[in-house]
Amino acid sequence: PQLQELHLGFNYLTVFPRAATGVDRFPCLHTLNLAFNYIASEDDLVPVVHLHKLEMLVIYGNPLLGPTGEDPSGTSIEYLAQCLLDVRTGYSTRALDILTEKPKKKSAEKPPSSSAEAMRKSRYRNVSM
């Protein structure tokens, strides 16, 4: 079996090495997680453009994205995105998602603030007729 997902988050990486993107290195890799490392420049990520089957690149939590480690607008990776588009045109029709912000957890429903409100909310649950 060929490696399809590679999770390298929290590894103090400052660059994704060019040697890791050789022709036979990761031919089936579709997810690369580099979250929460020390990648500070788009140039440090340019080698990933040669991962032909890559569909998901996770980079939030890196200095590249600013002081918070997140960039919802994606302005900090415009050069990288253009490189990816230029290199992939002609050999890959796969879409590539670049996650620049940590996924937000779904907020749970707040508990009722009073017993009367709790009674009103649960009043018609499990009613059988």
Q: Report the CATH number that the domain containing residue 10 is assigned in CATH.
A: 3.80.10
Give the range of the structural domain holding residue 50, as residue numbers without chain letter: 5-122
Pairing mode of beta strands 31-33, 97-99: unpaired
Domain count, the chain: 1
28 domain residue, yes or no: yes
88 domain residue, yes or no: yes
- For 6-21, write each residue's pLDDT tens digit: 999 999 999 999 988 8
- For 30-69, write each residue's pLDDT tens digit: 999 999 999 999 999 999 988 988 999 999 999 999 999 9
82 domain residue, yes or no: yes
Q: What is the pLDDT of residue 108?
A: 64
- For 89-125, write each residue's pLDDT tens digit: 877 777 889 999 998 887 666 555 555 554 444 433 3
128 domain residue, yes or no: no
> CA torsion 30→2→24→50, rounded to 10°?
0
The C-alpha atoms of residue 63 and residue 108 are separated, in whole angstroms, by 31
69 domain residue, yes or no: yes
At residue 49, φ and ψ (nearest 5 deg) are -65, -20
